[in-house]
Homo-oligomer: A and B are copies of this chain.
Amino acid sequence: MKKFVNDPANFVQEMMEGLVLANPDTLSWKKEFNIIYRSDAPSNDKVSIIQGSGSGHEPAHIMAVGKGMLDAAVPGNVFAAPPMEYVVECFKLMNSEKGILHIVNNYQGDRMGWDMAREMVEAEGIKTELVIVNDDVAVEDSLYTVGRRGVAGNFFVIKGVGAASEAGAELGELVRIGNKINDNVRTMGMALTGCTPPAKGEPIFTLADDEIEVGVGIHGEPGRRRDKMNTADAILEELFEAVAGDIPFEKGDRVGLMINGLGGTPISELYLLYRKAALLCKDHGFNVVKNYVGEYCTALEMAGFSITLLRLDDEIEKLMNAPAEIPIRVF
């Protein structure tokens, strides 16, 4: 597997350096702890929002650091939770009188490190709260989780609490908002190919030319089943029904609809998939008022996608429409 890499041991740090070189006015980098943070954070006027997990899911989470989104992200190596001392340092660096909200995707490795770090910093008087994201409907428990996994729905939780914290919301209010968004968002993904962590040098799994993995996790962990390749519409429809049937979403619901590429799928194919998803929303009587087509939470260069539905009420819709800025941009 050919990848753009120098020494695989430096992959994450060189990516971070590129990100900071591209955003010299807005981002800072505490290199020895893998922390990317807003240069104007923390502020005692605002709850700090932080997240950390494995690398390899870009733009999540280091490229989601910016006004109205995360104040800091602290990733580990590719598909590996950040070491506890990095997380402790991130809490200390982002300490605000209003407190710190940390968002954790539900993976055991991430949760353990964050729980331990949180105990340590709370003993030092830092005020923290936690929101857990577990939007993946594919499986109830998985290789790396008790309960459901946290995947692309994470974007909406960050967007919502980021907007509310920018508007001055207190820590407890942000916990309510984060949990509410998590309760209203559902995702499922599938893969056409595996992906290759640079330090590993070989794919974490391999699919035959006519095989797909339905319900895959964002680290390539198994999903519901291996299946035969099918048309785009048939694949999309299975995932759509699993997601839509889960809360369940109902006729008349206002929704946000996301087609998220997993890293190696071109945007042309994502729009072809969006087409079917939008038509199915129409069939189900869901009113799509916001849409998202692109890469939000990936698995390196994996070919595949996930579909996310977010149920909107006035409060969530307003938060999704609030201004936000992140390092990745077109212009």
Contacts and interface: CB of A to CB of B under 8 A. Distances in A.
Contacts of A233: 6
Nearest to A326: B330
Contact of A301 (B21, B22, B266, B274): B266
Nearest to A279: B21
A296 B301 CA distance: 18
Contact of A58 (B19, B159, B266): B266
A278 B22 contact: yes
Interface centre among A21, A274, A291 (most CB of B within 10 A): A21
Contacts of A104: none
Contacts of A275: 14-15, 17-18, 21
Interface in A243-275: 263-275
Chain A interface extent, by class: 35 or more
A232 B2 contact: no
Contact of A272 (B11, B296, B328, B329): B11
A3 interface: yes
A21 B291 CA distance: 10
Interface string A274-298: 1110110000000000011111101
Interface centre among A2, A55, A232, A295 (most CB of B within 10 A): A2
Given A22-B293, A278-B21, A294-B328, A58 B273 contact: no
A193 interface: yes
Given A278-B22, A328-B330, A268 B2 contact: no
A56 interface: yes
A88 interface: no
Contacts of A264: 264, 266, 301, 303
Contact of A266 (B14, B263, B273, B331): B263
Contact of A267 (B231, B232, B295, B305): B295
A272 B4 contact: yes
12 contacts: A2-B192, A2-B193, A5-B232, A11-B268, A14-B272, A15-B268, A17-B275, A18-B275, A21-B279, A22-B271, A55-B268, A265-B301
Q: Which 3 A-B pairs have the closest CB atoms?
A: A18-B275, A18-B271, A4-B232
